[in-house]
Amino acid sequence: MARKSGSHSEITGPRIRSVAQSLIARHGFAAVSMRQIAAEVGVRAGTIYLYVADKQALLYELMETHLDTLLAAWEAVPVPEDPTEALHAFTSFHLRFHFERPEEVFIAYMELRNLTPENFAKIEARRRAYEAALEAILARGAASSAFDLPDPRVTTMAIIAMLTGVGTWYRDGGRLSRGEVEAIYWRLVRRMVQGA
């Protein structure tokens, strides 16, 4: 917060991204100025341009980092062979990841229209890859009759929208714990796909 003159190259870059993430999540990308970010970091506006090409690159890098972290974290999850257990693994993973990173998630959903077409395409490709992970689990369960689905694609979008929606109402310290919310959502998801 305090402004100091001197050498901080190793911490100023990360701090710019961290501060930008908080401000953008709170006020929106278009409503946050480079000066505001600089002020909160404790440098002058021009200094930001030593670490970021321009404002668009700043937004893109935040979203790219978020989605790459999400995909890498899912890759690291051991997916059970049983479709029901695999779906349980995905549900828990998705909720826990989203509980932990409300700012990143919010930005990734709200600021898509502020990306250039080129950057938008790259982010969308990563999002589709993540959706494909869930769709593959559902398709496998449908093929083995573990699941009874009206439509794998729509069910994928329905489950992801439902789970990601926790961000709009869940707050730590509220009526339910994260674990309780997780149990409730898992029960809802399991019923949605349950075979006859």
Sign of the Cα pseudo-torsion (135, 136, 140, 146, in order): negative
At 130 the three-state DSSP class reads helix
Query: Whole-angstrom Cα distance, residue 155 to residue 161?
Result: 10
Sign of the Cα pseudo-torsion (135, 72, 180, 183, in order): positive
Query: Whole-angstrom Cα distance, residue 57 to residue 64?
Result: 10
**Does 77 participate in binding its own copies (rule CB under 8 A)?**
no
**Does 102 participate in binding its own copies (rule CB under 8 A)?**
no
Query: Whole-angstrom Cα distance, residue 83 to residue 195?
Result: 11
**Does 18 participate in binding DNA (rule CB under 7 A)?**
no
Task: Give which of DNA, its own copies, none residue 132 binds (C-beta under 5 to 8 Å, depending on kind).
Answer: none
- Residue 29 or 90 having the CB closest to DNA: 29
**Does 84 participate in binding DNA (rule CB under 7 A)?**
no
Give me the 50-69 binding string for DNA, x by CB under 7 A, dash otherwise: x---xxx-------------
At 176 the three-state DSSP class reads coil
**Does 33 participate in binding DNA (rule CB under 7 A)?**
yes
Sign of the Cα pseudo-torsion (190, 193, 195, 196, in order): positive
Other beta carbons less than 10 A from residue 98's beta carbon: 19
Burial class (CB in 10 A: 0-12, 13-18, 19+), 53: exposed
**Does 194 participate in binding its own copies (rule CB under 8 A)?**
yes
Shortest approach of DNA to residue 72 CB, angstroms? Answer: 29
**Does 157 participate in binding its own copies (rule CB under 8 A)?**
yes
- Name the segment binding DNA (CB under 7 A); options: 37-45, 63-71, 88-96, 115-123: 37-45
Task: Give which of its own copies, DNA, none residue 78 binds (C-beta under 5 to 8 Å, depending on kind).
Answer: none
At 1 the three-state DSSP class reads coil
- Name the segment binding its own copies (CB under 8 A); options: 11-19, 54-62, 137-145, 155-163: 155-163
Binding site for DNA (CB under 7 A): 3, 5-9, 12, 32-36, 38, 42-47, 49-50, 54-56
Binding site for its own copies (CB under 8 A): 26-31, 110, 113-114, 150-151, 153-155, 157-162, 164-166, 168-169, 175-176, 181, 183-185, 187-188, 191-192, 194
